[in-house]
Amino acid sequence: MAEPKKHHYRPELYLKGFSTKGSKKSKQVHVFDKSTNKMFRTSITNLCTKSYFFSSRVEHSLAERIERQVEPILTGLRNEKTLASISPQNFSFLIKWIAWLFIAHPLNKDLLNSILQKHLGIPSLKFTKSTLEQFFFDTHKKILPYFFRRGWVLYFSNEKSFVTSDRTISLAGKTLWGPVGLENAQFIFFPISPHLLLAGGLGNGEGFASKPQKSTKTIIDQANMTAHIKAERFVISQSGKGLLCYLIDKPALPEVTLENQMIKIVMR
């Protein structure tokens, strides 16, 4: 059997939490494309894909060993709307998966490729897909403490308030435009659905609060604005209403800032 060409770097099991109801083939989301300034609807099957992003071995492992375990955790949170619905072991697994989503992105793959050449002196001729994938795995292990040292809170909104993006995990600093990294981000935002946002706060202890908190307008605005700013290209929502209200003309952080953050992690 031929290897599937199209790999989702944002899994469909995640994207469907922001889709309209219907069969798998008809599940659609509203998307704003930052590169064209246009909004459209599309199937989650067509969104956030990259040709041969992973090797067939890693793609199969992610689907069978990781996503199969993550899906019921996300489903439980979306249905119950409380972290009390999952065990500490499942919460730990969820945080590891969130850290994986943060690092396993095409933009980070390009940055790792650059770091291998410029800072570690590895000739590009020696690059293989397995070399870069191993750096993904190694870097994932290095960033896990940044995620586990936070206090996580589940925010809920009765309205369809939250959006997500092709970056999914976004870091929010004290200001929208200042440099921010895993070590100093005020929040790590992970939108779970239009109604739910998981936020890891700095200085709030470690672990998670089992009781959810009602979202304030400040949290909603900060999460959605950060999603727009940090998105590489696509901002994603269940509804087109309000999708454009967080657009800001000022460009996002320069890529050199992202590269410096990655260098700091990889060279640890």
In a domain, 3, yes or no: no
In a domain, 101, yes or no: yes
pLDDT of residue 125: 46
pLDDT of residue 252: 47
Q: Which of 40-44, 236-240, 248-252 bottoms out in mean pLDDT, i.e. has the lowest? A: 248-252
d(CA 245, CA 164): 14
pLDDT of residue 181: 85
pLDDT of residue 121: 60
In a domain, 75, yes or no: yes
Is residue 14's pLDDT more than 50?
yes
In a domain, 5, yes or no: no
Is residue 31's pLDDT more than 90?
yes
pLDDT of residue 207: 84
Is residue 198's pLDDT more than 80?
yes
Q: Would you place residue 132 in the very low, low, confident or very high pLDDT band (cuts 50, 70, 90)? A: confident
In a domain, 4, yes or no: no
Q: In the predicted model, what is the mean pLDDT of residues 94-121?
A: 79
Residue 120, phi then psi, degrees to nearest 5 = -110, -5
Is residue 116's pLDDT more than 70?
no
Q: Would you place residue 147 in the very low, low, confident or very high pLDDT band (cuts 50, 70, 90)? A: very high
Mean pLDDT for all residues in the chain: 82
Nearest to 224 by CA among 200, 248, 203: 248
In a domain, 10, yes or no: no
Per-residue 3-state assignment (H helix, E strand, C coil) for the chain: CCCCCEEECCCHHHHHHHCCCCCHHHCEEEEEECCCCEEEEEEHHHCCEEECCCCHHHHHHHHHHHHHHHHHHHHHHHHHCCHHHCCHHHHHHHHHHHHHHHHCCHHHHHHHHHHHHHCCCCCHHHCCHHHHHHHHHHHHHHHHHHHHCCEEEEEECCCCCCCEECCCCEEECCCCCCCCCCCCCCEEEEEEECCEEEEEECCCCCEECCCCEECCHHHHHHHHHHHHHHCCCEEEECCCCCCCCCCCCCCCCCHHHHHHHHHHHHCC
Q: Which of 147-161, 188-202, 210-224, 244-258 bottoms out in mean pLDDT, i.e. has the lowest? A: 244-258
As for how many domains the chain has, the answer is 1
pLDDT of residue 254: 46
pLDDT of residue 223: 93
Higher pLDDT among residues 67 and 263, named by residue: 67
Q: Would you place residue 149 in the very low, low, confident or very high pLDDT band (cuts 50, 70, 90)? A: very high
Compute CA distances 224 → 32, 169, 192, whole Å. Answer: 13, 12, 13
In a domain, 143, yes or no: yes
* Full domain range(s) for residue 193: 22-266
In a domain, 29, yes or no: yes
Of all residues in the chain, the percent with pLDDT exceeding 90 is 45
